[in-house]
Amino acid sequence: MLLLAGSVPVKDLPLLIGPIEITPHGIKMDGHVLEVNRGNEAMMTAAALICKEYKLDKPVGMVAGDTGNRAGSEAIYKYLAKNLPDMGADVVTLHYVMPDINLNKKVLATIDTMEKKPVMIADAGTMYVAKAGGDASYYDVFTPDIGEMAFLADDKADHPAFTRGFIFDLEEDVPALIEKAYAANNVPATMFVKGATDYICLNGEIVETISEPCVETMEPIGGTGDLITGMISALIYAGKSPLDACRIAGRVNRQAGVLSQPTPATQIEEILQFLPQALHEVLEQLG
């Protein structure tokens, strides 16, 4: 089972758990329809679309409403800490949550008790809290953007907002940031660094870069990174290695950008609808 968890910006929405169904009005789970804006809903939609293309069972979503007051995030951490071993998850992706080092460590302590550890993917708040707590080694894949890469390279920062200026200035030298992050054990074995050039890394080495096709107007669009994380999750669930999942997802994201011809004002739903076509085209190109 592919489990995708994170908060959604709906006030007082209780914890929902259930298979993710794509509807014309958004994603449906546990009897609720959630509008696809960005964040977890975009990530979950991307994963659900890829699972459908590979004829896999629907991914299971776990969401709770959180607009910043931590309540939904705490509900997710606590449920995972108590129930994850019984959920039968093969791949777990944790995404937008309010970083809470102590609660995240409780989830990780639960994972320590599992006979078969799931493949663990982290982005957004979960990636921040994993790094801040010194727990990156529990995960298999991180998917930072350039700003987050600088944070991962800074062993003193607890959050991207605290990245020190001299490291922020290194952003033009992404390989140097990657080297620093691996040297400080702040990242897991596999990492996909999202940017004008995407860097795919394994065990400290940059094994591939993707820079074409380049759709510059995708950079301001909220949610493009979420699509990549969702696709990597589904592709790993489909049996691809983390490295191959990154290789495919990076290309599909760019191809979806080509197909949707976005402006900086485009919203992520407009790109999402091109993912299946983009996947077919990329798989054909890759043979």
Partner 1 sequence: MKWFGKKKNKEIDNTALESVTKGLLVFAHPTTVISVEEILKDEGYSIRVVSPPPSYRTGCDLSVEFPLEFEAEISALLNSVGMTPLDVVPITSKGMEPLHFVRKKEFNGQYLMIRAANMKMTVDKISGKIVNISGGGCPDVPYMATEMIGQRLTDVLSPGEVGYSLCAYSLNTSYEELVKELGA
Give the residues lining the site for partner 1 (CB under 8 A): 7-9, 37-41, 66-70, 72-73, 95-102, 104, 123-129, 132-133, 145, 147-148, 151, 156-165, 168-169, 216-217, 219-225, 263-267
Gap between the Cα atoms of 41 and 27, Å rounded: 7
Gap between the Cα atoms of 248 and 287, Å rounded: 12
Q: How far is the CB of 151 from partner 1 (least distance, A)?
A: 7
- Per-residue burial over 253-272, b = 16 or more CB atoms within 10 Å of its CB, e = otherwise: bbbbbebbebeeebebbebb
Q: How far is the CB of 174 from partner 1 (least distance, A)?
A: 14
Nearer to partner 1, 123 or 198 (CB): 123
Nearer to partner 1, 147 or 204 (CB): 147
Q: How far is the CB of 269 from partner 1 (least distance, A)?
A: 12
Nearer to partner 1, 39 or 61 (CB): 39
Gap between the Cα atoms of 42 and 79, Å rounded: 22
* Cα-based angle 178, 182, 185 (whole degrees, multiple of 5): 145
Q: How far is the CB of 10 from partner 1 (least distance, A)?
A: 9
Nearer to partner 1, 124 or 246 (CB): 124
Q: Is the dihedral of CA 99, 187, 83, 245 positive or negative?
A: positive
